[in-house]
Amino acid sequence: MDFFDIDKRVTDASVKAMELCKDKFKEIEKIQEYNQCKMIKAFQNAGVRESHLVGSTGYGYDDYGREALDKVYAFAFDAEDALVRHNFVSGTHALTVALFGVLRPGDTMLSVTGMPYDTIRSAIGIEGGYSGSLKDFNIDFKMVDLCDDGSIDYDAVKAKIECLKPKMVYIQRSRGYSTRATLTWREIKKICDISKKVSPESIIMLDNCYGEFIDKVEPLSVGVDLMAGSLIKNPGGGIAPTGGYIAGKEKLVEMCSYRLTTPGTGKEIGATLSTNRELFMGAYHAPHVTGEALKTAVFASALFEILGYDTDPKFSDNRGDIIQLIMLGSEEKLCRFCEGVQSGSAVDSFVTPMPSDMPGYENQVIMAAGAFTLGSSIELSADAPLREPYAVWMQGGLNFHSGKLGVMLAADKILKDEEKVAL
């Protein structure tokens, strides 16, 4: 940390945090190695060659690189098939294509993890009143509330699925801007087992954003039928400049492809332009980069716990995604944290994050993200709505060393701001 003026209280605490994290880091590195080897096997099984890295134009007929990329992700995610495209503009877009791909007028979508994340609500038609939502197409939305402690109410889930026999059982893996725990594959499996038993025809769909390559077990191997996510999160490895994926049962992926393009053409068209090389490279790096982001999150949890803050997950906990929640307790500390993360970035380090209104969000949101790819949350970033309990959601870190620096600078900003206030 020779190049940065970091308070000695932070540097001393970081030494203690690193000692606390040693065993957890070893666990993460084993997962990194497993998933990296699996990804190399995925490339080999798909027969990836240099010619696949060149894109197509026009209709994109016979784009063998596009087809090989789908096979790579299908193997990596334990899926029958996958739809990986640069023209998914966000994770929400990929999720929306999946929802419209398999749901039909009169169907019921049942969320078993409470209210979905802010940006997907307008696509469902829960809020916003935008034209073209699922509600406009007479698709009914129901949900099962979480328990008071934020855990899954499995008895209520079973009863609701058994009663409604919904077309879709919808699971959101990550917490969104809530304080409930992210789901690991074990909780996901339990939901799937319940659903398959009481309503075997229901499609189990997972919002898998932030959860890819977290463990050796992928959700599609424990009962999920369809899942979707963003390539500027875990599975793009910090290299994919945009895009998203849908993966799962072959028939369901085919239905989604008809929604993305047109019925009948589906996966057979779609120019990749000059994106193939970056998407392949992103996939290749994704298991390692995800592990680095996990280590950054574990370190942040340990450091801020030492400094007296409540964190979730704790540094020693099993994790279902790369997100670290830190309870800061005030708007001022929240803003200082984001300023610290921004100041540790390679890009736009001089920028001061400011709260602002954002489409799809009820409250003003502050975001720190000095990123090579705009909005990329596999690169170190921190964001939060300005509302109680003034918690920050931090994620990412392309490599642990830069992630560690950003976390320490965030702590440094808070401590120095406290000194100024005291004076």
DSSP symbols for 121-155: HHHHTSSS--TT-GGGGT-EEEE-PPPTTS---HH
DSSP symbols for 51-119: GGGS---TT-TT-HHHHHHHHHHHHHTT-SEEEEETT--SHHHHHHHHHHHH--TT-EEEESSSSPPHH
Would you state the pLDDT for residue 417? 78
Work out the pLDDT band at 106, boundaries 50, 70, 90.
very high
Contact assessment for residue 256 and residue 98, using Cβ atoms and an 8 Å cutoff: yes
Q: Could you give the 3-state DSSP secondary structure of residue 297?
A: helix
Tens-place pLDDT, residues 311-349: 999 999 999 999 999 999 999 999 999 999 999 999 999
Tens-place pLDDT, residues 39-52: 999 999 999 999 99
Bridge partner list, 324: 394
Count CA within 13 A, CB hemisphere, residue 301: 24
Instruction: Dig out the tokens for 307 from the structure.
Output: 């400094």
Instruction: Dig out the tokens for 48 from the structure.
Output: 């990836």
Closest to 78 measured CA to CA, from 28, 37, 38: 38
**Residue 420, pLDDT above cutoff 80:** no
- As assigned by CATH, the class of the 37-283 domain is alpha beta
Dihedral through CA 228, CA 274, CA 267, CA 67, nearest 10? -90
d(CA 312, CA 180): 9
Would you state the pLDDT for residue 33? 98
Fold classification of 8-33+287-422 is Aspartate Aminotransferase, domain 1 (3.90.1150)
Closest to 187 measured CA to CA, from 230, 233, 147: 147
Question: How far apart, in Å, are the Cα atoms of 55 and each of 133, 167, 237, 273, 413?
Answer: 33, 37, 19, 5, 45
Would you state the pLDDT for residue 230? 98
Instruction: Dig out the tokens for 422 from the structure.
Output: 């005291």
Q: Where are the domains of the chain?
A: 8-33+287-422, 37-283
Contact assessment for residue 276 and residue 64, using Cβ atoms and an 8 Å cutoff: no
pLDDT (mean) for 362-374: 90
How much is the mean pLDDT over the chain? 95
pLDDT (mean) for 178-193: 95
| Residues 6+ away with beta carbon under 8 Å from 227 | 77, 205, 206, 207, 208, 219, 220, 246, 247, 248
Q: Where are the alpha helices (DSSP H) in 273-399?
A: 276-306, 331-343
Could you tell me the pTM of the whole model? Answer: 0.95
Work out the pLDDT band at 422, boundaries 50, 70, 90.
low
Question: How far apart, in Å, are the Cα atoms of 95 and each of 100, 133, 229, 230?
Answer: 9, 13, 7, 9
Tens-place pLDDT, residues 117-141: 888 999 999 988 899 999 999 999 9
Tens-place pLDDT, residues 205-255: 999 999 999 999 999 999 999 999 999 999 999 999 999 999 999 999 999
Tens-place pLDDT, residues 80-97: 999 999 999 999 999 999
| Residues 6+ away with beta carbon under 8 Å from 27 | none
d(CA 382, CA 337): 8
Please check whether the two domains, 8-33+287-422 and 37-283, share a CATH topology: no
11 exposure class (CB count in 10 Å sphere: 0-12, 13-18, 19+):
middle
Closest to 247 measured CA to CA, from 396, 366, 115, 69: 69
Would you state the pLDDT for residue 127? 87
Would you state the pLDDT for residue 86? 98
d(CA 88, CA 102): 17
**Residue 1, pLDDT above cutoff 70:** no
pLDDT (mean) for 396-417: 95
Q: Do β-strands 226-230 and 324-327 pair in parallel, antiparallel, or remain unpaired?
A: unpaired
Q: Could you give the 3-state DSSP secondary structure of residue 168?
A: strand
Dihedral through CA 270, CA 271, CA 275, CA 277, nearest 10? 100
Residue 313, preceding bond cis, omega within 30 degrees?
yes
Would you state the pLDDT for residue 298? 98
124 exposure class (CB count in 10 Å sphere: 0-12, 13-18, 19+):
buried
Bridge partner list, 393: 325, 383
Contacts 24+ apart (CB under 8 A), 304-312: 304/411, 306/13, 306/16, 306/17, 306/20, 307/9, 307/10, 307/13, 307/411, 307/415, 312/179, 312/181
**Residue 388, pLDDT above cutoff 90:** no
Would you state the pLDDT for residue 128? 83
d(CA 107, CA 398): 41
